[in-house]
Amino acid sequence: MIRLEGVTKVYSVGDVEVHALRGVTLEVEQGEMVAVMGPSGSGKSTLMNVLGCLDVPTCGSYFLEDAEVGLLSDDRLADIRNRRIGFVFQSNNLLPRATALANVELPLLYGNDRDRRRRSLEALERVDLKDRASHRPNQLSGGQQQRVGIARALVKRPAILLADEPTGNLDSAHSLEIMEILQKGLSVIIVSHEADIAARTGRVISMLDGLVVSDQRPDSCHQLDSSHEPDSSHEDEAAP
Ligand code: ADP
Ligand code: MG
């Protein structure tokens, strides 16, 4: 679904070069939920921007659903970004004067009004806020605003949800609530400092200085699909 090969990202600021990513190779399967952890400045946001097609690698390749992103035309890239990728930001970027429903409808450029309304209400329902559809952001708590942001990301039914420290400004009860919402079905990549968030994902990637330094699946048995054959171990039992 997602494949990075030797991806580097160098930012040039004046005559200083910042090596934000120094060769990241990574695969993420459909439906996988991945936490990305690491100290500030280790390249987590840069990685998310590359994954979200908001930024292009300096070197290396990025394959998204079998298309090599670097080879796509701008139009095709914009189309993928709009239809396949959902973003949840730390500051939720809601329009302050628009209702929760209007905020969620925003990314739905296509379709008629009734259809947009129905899908947006459905998304609000998934984050448990259907009864707050007509509230404006300042009439909602921080956690509720964050959930509206999640509904807005889900309403396009993206294949991938990218969340860069989405729960950073929430208490941990809310964080877990949001994690449960996020966990339904699609591939989720979430940058988080919080250990209890990481504990709830199937996989934890740690970054340091622009590199992936560890990639762990703490409870891999739960995350693998059931097609894995339990039989293979029998072959070892032939010896007396
Ligand atoms: P993290 O999200 O892990 O805190 P970032 O990906 O934001 O790390 O940053 C990685 C490094 O790249 C940092 O040294 C940061 O200063 C630098 N960096 C990030 N974005 C830019 C940019 N647009 N221009 C120059 N340097 C940048
Ligand atoms: Mg960051």
Segment 124-137, tens digit of pLDDT: 998 889 999 999 99
From the CA of 44, how far away is ligand 1's center (Å)?
8
pLDDT-wise least confident of 23-37, 78-92, 145-159, 173-187: 173-187
- 99: tokens are 């209702």
Sketch out the chain's domains with CATH numbers. 2-219 (3.40.50.300)
Segment 134-146, tens digit of pLDDT: 999 999 988 888 8
* Best of 7, 13, 24, 45 for a ligand 1 pocket test (most atoms within 8 Å of beta carbon): 45
**Closest-approaching ligand to the CA atom of 90:** 2
3-state SS of 169-223 is CCCHHHHHHHHHHHCCCCEEEEECCCHHHHHCCCEEEEEECCEEEEEECCCHHHH
From the CA of 135, how far away is ligand 2's center (Å)?
30
pTM of the entire structure? 0.84
